[in-house]
Structure 1
Amino acid sequence: MSDWIIISSVTGIYLLIVLIVGIAARRGQKSTLEGYITGGRSVGIVVLFFILGAEIFSAFTFLGAPGQAFTTGAPALYILAYLSLALILWWVIGPRVATLGRRYGYLSQADLFADRFSSKSVPVVMSIMSVVALIPYLTIQITGAGLLFTFATDGQVPFWLGSLVAFAICTIYVFVSGLKGIGWTNLLQGILMLVVAWAIGIAAVFQLFGTVDNMFSDIREVSPEYLIMPGGGDGWTWAAFSSAIVLSVLGFVMWPHVFNKSYSAESNRHIKRTVVLYPLYALLVVPILLAGFAAITTVQEGDIERPDAVMSHLIVNLLDLPPIVIGLMLAGAVAAAMSTGANLAHTAASIVVRDFISHVKKEALKDSVAVSITKWCVVIISALAFILAVLNVQTIVQLFLIAYGIVIQFLPITFATLFWRRATFAGVMSGMLAGLGVTIYFTFVQPTPFDIEPGLWGVAVNTICLVMISLFTKPMAREHTERFVRPKASTEIAAQPELSRPVTVHRVNEHEKQSQTEVSSPAP
């Protein structure tokens, strides 16, 4: 039997298991929009940990990270730096966001801001910005799955077929089970990713060099520039390196799916524990980066067509591995793409329905209709991303470059919502649009000053506009803003204007009683 058939069969069996687990997760889930998007707000610490982990460990982890280490060396370590700090802001704002979400029935990131600023315009603008950032990110996951199949089977499984199979399965279980399907499959896939990552790292280092010390000694002798900043090839300056870390840390917690998944947490304690445990995911990245460093002296640039093929080249051509093991490694790498892709498709669909259609449509959607539309949006968005991946649309790369620059523009409005009563609708809206404009300008028109990431310049302008315009416009009623700035002090739910009321009825429940004792201390 040919090796590629064995490799494909092992991966196929794994994909079938994922499909079964994803569909079975639907058992016991209510057929409501809240159940589909938040899992009934009952997700425990273990599943929440793996759900949030899937947001960051994607096709980039198994393709882009080793490719970055192979082409530049030391600058690739920025991944470990921002990973350790990725959720640090969420320790402060996560419990507040989750408390408000449970109290007022929020299902999306923009629900919070629409309620705070009593505006339908805020969620509509944010939904457009979010989907523009999420679709290319999803496209990259589909591209990664297709490339992995092609590399591992030496082209026997074409790109379009590999990506189609992986994301058809992903779309099916998200369609059927919503967040619970994502949660339980991410748990399965997260464990496999961890095992596979270490198997790849250990095999690459010890088969090619014997020890880690020997590997770095070899790099020091042949290409020492790869071990210091700014690195080899097209290296980074210190400003670019540092600003990339800051942009990633601040932008990571602004992705819409981080808000959405935090609404699903069973308690605020689970959110804080997740923040503490999150740096453990570095255990997955370290061996992958080691594999990238191992390629610096063993792989020539002419051996591969693109840097993100370096890990697959190592596995298939340089390491002595049986086909079954290669199949398991392929399954683990595809798992990274699928776990992130499932989250992205689910979040993008919920944003389209919850933040765009529900606010543009004059009449409120029935819950059953909203669930049905959200499910079909998962299919449509996944299909669109698949088409873009197959067509290899060049602008996708440019869109991905500003994806973090887009979502980080939600940072000022988040802090204004939770900590500053004086913020107004005019201030936050003008700030978001100005910040987005500056980010686009420094990304596509003018080189960014001092090698600082464009998104950070955008946030600076965003914050200035928000503060200045808010100070010169009429403040909102204190009893309204008090609900957000001091959620612990609000024991009753104020009547909401029809303009900003979320689809789900606001209510006080047992989760709220618990959250009132857990939410972090209010700001002065």
Structure 2
Amino acid sequence: MIVSIMIVAGIVLIGALGLANRRRQASLDHWTVGKRSNPKWTSWFLQAGESLTTFSFLGLAGIAFGGGVSSTFAVAYLTISWLGLYFVAPRIRELGQRRGYLTMGDFFEDRFRSRPLARVVALIGALALIPYLQLQITGLGLIVELATGSERARGLSMVVASILVAIFVAWSGIKGIARVAILKDLLMVLAMVVIAAGLVITFGGIPEVFGQIAREAPVLLTMHVDGYDPVFFITATLVTVIGSSFNTLPHLWPPVLAAKSGEVLRSNAKWLPVYQLVLFLPITVGLAAVLVLPEDTTGNTVLLTMSGAMLPDWLVGVVAIAGASAAMVPASAIVMGISTLVSRNVVGGVRGGRQMALNYVVIVASIALALAFGLVRSDIGALLLLTYGCTTQFAPAIAIALANRVKVGAWPVGLSIVAGSLTVAVITFAEIPIGSWDSGLIALAPNLVVLVVAEAIRRMRGGRDVEQLDFAADPAATAATEAAGSAGRSAAAPQP
């Protein structure tokens, strides 16, 4: 009963903090990126939110339980990705401020001068984020069920948290997400410290955990477990590094576009890799679980089951609240990513209050869809890799569009993205056996082949480089380009 009360109070507190704005954000640009003036620490917590999610809280422990040290692929890709983002994120922010981007779709429309391409990218991006949103909601339900021992509480908590996320995202936008992100990371670090203390008390220290594993299950300290071999580690790391380095997840664009400066983003990229070290704790918990839990234990349940065995009830409640925040904050950012893509790029042509009204409808619809899927249990690690595999298909196009002059046409880019995304979908839903390979990495092959062939055909038919605006424009023109961006990328006039 104590744990249940703590969790309910925690979820309500998280939702209330997101609603702390006195006034509702009434315009889509302020709702999405504020005044593009987020200082270093606000940007830090918004960007760090992708490191500590339901996947890192539940999924990593589950992968470590079944696959041992192969689970460190998450530490590898998150660390390496910041090297790419050091260069990519400031460039995206620079272009976004000059041209008034609010979404990834705006970027594609403006750089390739094609609204149909923006619609294709926005539609694929929104659909690809649904499994990731489902992952967060599923994880929250599992956390509550395991902490309280009640399956009924699982469904109820998912519904309540989903409603709170919808309300505070609709009301406060990125400002509300930023406030809750700060609380979430503080709670997550606290939870990890508590879990580490439990490991030390239970096993006599973290080194002792690895010593026992070396004696009783040494294969887990190698990469030779079925399904978690070197091919899994390399391909899963590669596809997520490529996707993360080019910021291909649409819901991560608002934090970048809202930053005060490129220097803020570069500073974060230098220090956030250190933050990933905290992920070794859930990995260690997953390895320790091998020593005490039955072999048929479901991977997603490992961390909370171990917490219940090591800690008193009230500390389990603290860990569960942290886990709930790790679901609600990413869920709110994902919902923002989906709703802005649909209302601004997929539908388009809607302005003012009607655009915000459409945005609210998409928020409710996307959360309801993910909640419906989330009520059916899913493998958290698989959901993450599905989203990353699909969105990584944007990486070649983003790399092309970051150059000063775009030399590839819109329709070859669109065809390549569709080819790659369809490949991921077919492999996933048709359950085509690919061994330990990551479907997203495999799909980059047809993506690039279609891109090269289609662009060669375009060039043979007289295609030229995409006409670009002068991005050496005076910064004083920013206000004008913001207004032009709100009116639509393809209709914007070149700046002097």
Q: Give the alignment's TM-score, normalised by structure 2.
A: 0.90
Match of 1:113 in 2: 108
Residue of structure 1 equivalent to 2:363: 378
| C-alpha contact (below 8 Å) 1:119/1:499 kept by paired residues | no
Pair 153,268 (structure 1): closer, same or farther in 2 beyond 3 Å: same
1:472 positional shift: 3.2
Q: Distance in 1 between matches of 2:169 and 2:481?
A: 35
The answer to whether the 8 Å contact 2:343/2:355 transfers is yes
Q: Which amino acid aligns with 2:357?
A: S
1:213 pairs with 2:207? yes
Tell me, yes or no, if the aligned pair for 2:131 and 2:386 is still in contact at 8 Å: no
Matched, 1:348 2:338: yes
Aligned residue identity for 1:323 = D
Deviation at 1:508, TM superposition (A): 11
Greater shift after overlay, 436-445 or 250-259?
Answer: 436-445
- Check whether the contact 1:198–1:288 (CA below 8 A) recurs between aligned residues: no
Deviation at 1:74, TM superposition (A): 1.2
Q: 1:479 to 1:132 in 2, by over 3 A?
A: closer
The one-letter code sitting in structure 1 at the alignment partner of 2:301 is A
Q: Provide structure 1 residue ranges, at least 5 long, that are not aligned to the other structure.
A: 359-363, 510-524
Map Cα deviations across residues 244-265 of structure 1 (whole Å, 9 max, x no partner): 1111111122101222321111
- Give the gaps of 5 or more residues in structure 2: none
Matches within 5 A, 1:503-514: none
Map 1:255-266 onto structure 2 (within 5 A).
255-266=249-260
Post-superposition shift, 1:500? 11
Maintained 8 Å contact 1:133/1:399: no
Question: Are positions 1:502 and 2:494 aligned together?
Answer: no
SS at match of 1:40: coil
CA deviations over 1:207-255 (Å, ceiling 9, x no partner): 2210122111111111111111123xx3422122111111111112210
Matched, 1:12 2:1: no
Distance in 2 (CA, whole Å) between partners of 1:348 and 1:163 is 19
The one-letter code sitting in structure 2 at the alignment partner of 1:16 is V
The correspondence of residues 199-210 of structure 1 with structure 2, limited to 5 A, is 199-203=194-198, 205-210=199-204
Cα deviation, 1:352-403, whole Å, max 9, x if unaligned, reads 1011110xxxxx32222212221232122111211121245x7999765432
Task: Say which SS state the counterpart of residue 204 (structure 2) adopts.
Answer: coil
CA drift at 1:477: 6.4
- 1:50 corresponds, among 40, 45, 48, to 45
Partner of residue 469, structure 1: 454
Alignment of 1:6-405 (within 5 A): 6-24=2-20, 26-27=21-22, 31-155=26-150, 157-203=152-198, 205-231=199-225, 234-252=226-244, 253-302=247-296, 304=297, 306-316=298-308, 318-319=309-310, 321-358=311-348, 364-392=349-377, 401-405=385-389
Alignment length (residue pairs): 486
Shift of residue 464, structure 1, vs aligned partner: 3.2
Contact map agreement 2:99 2:485 (CA 8 A) in 1: no
Letter paired with 1:408: T
CA distance in 2, matches of 1:369, 1:438: 36
Counterparts in 2 of 1:433 and 1:7: CA distance versus 1, 3 Å: same
> Partners of 1:192 and 1:508 in 2: how far apart?
47
Check the 8 A contact 1:115/1:501 in 2, yes or no: no
Question: Conserved in 1, the CA contact under 8 Å of 2:393 and 2:421?
Answer: yes
C-alpha distance 500-408 of structure 1, shift in aligned 2 (>3 A): farther
Deviation at 1:164, TM superposition (A): 1.4
Q: Which has the higher mean CA deviation after the structures are superposed, 62-71 or 157-166?
A: 157-166
Q: 1:111-156, CA deviations, whole angstroms, 9 ceiling, x for partnerless residues?
A: 1111122222112211221122111111111111111111111117
- Secondary structure at the residue paired with 1:86? helix
Distance 1:198 1:279 in 2: 19
Deviation at 1:55, TM superposition (A): 2.5
In 1, the alpha carbon distance for the partners of 2:10 and 2:91 equals 39
Q: Deviations over 1:264-303 (max 9, x none)?
A: 111111111121122132243121111111111111125x
Deviation at 1:98, TM superposition (A): 0.8
Change (3 A) 1:46 1:77: same
User: Following the alignment from structure 1 to structure 2, what is the Cα–Cα distance between the partners of residues 140 and 207?
Assistant: 32
Equivalent residue number for residue 418 of structure 1: 402
* CA–CA distance in structure 2, aligned partners of residues 43 and 499 of structure 1: 20
**Deviation at residue 69 of structure 1 after TM alignment:** 0.8
CA contact (8 A) 2:7 2:144 kept: no
CA contact (8 A) 1:84 1:279 kept: yes
8 Å contact 2:136–2:331 — kept in the other structure? yes
Q: Is the 8 A contact 2:408 2:465 kept in 1?
A: no
C-alpha spacing 1:147/1:293, structure 2 compared with 1 (3 Å): same
1:467-522 deviation digits (Å, cap 9, x = unpaired)? 33223325776683364xxx3478779999x999627996999xxxxxxxxxxxxx
Amino acid in the other structure paired with 2:467? H
Q: Residues 28 and 441 (structure 1 numbering): CA distance in 2 closer, same or farther, change over 3 Å?
A: closer
- 1:215/1:136 Cα in 2 relative to 1: closer, same or farther (>3 Å)? same
Q: Give the letter aligned to residue 47 of structure 1.
A: T
Find the residue that maps to 1:408 and give its secondary structure: helix
Q: Classify 1:181/1:164 alpha carbon distance in 2 versus 1 (closer, same or farther; 3 Å).
A: same
Moved more, 453-462 or 187-196: 453-462
Any conservation in 1 of the 2:31–2:173 contact (CA below 8 Å)? yes
1:431 corresponding residue in structure 2: 416
**Identity of paired residues, percent?**
26
Shift of 1:187: 0.8
Taking the aligned partners of 2:88 and 2:105, their CA distance within structure 1 comes to: 15
Normalised TM-score (structure 1): 0.86
Provide closer, same or farther for how the CA distance between residues 375 and 281 of structure 1 changes in structure 2, counting only shifts above 3 A. farther
- Cα root mean square deviation, aligned: 2.9
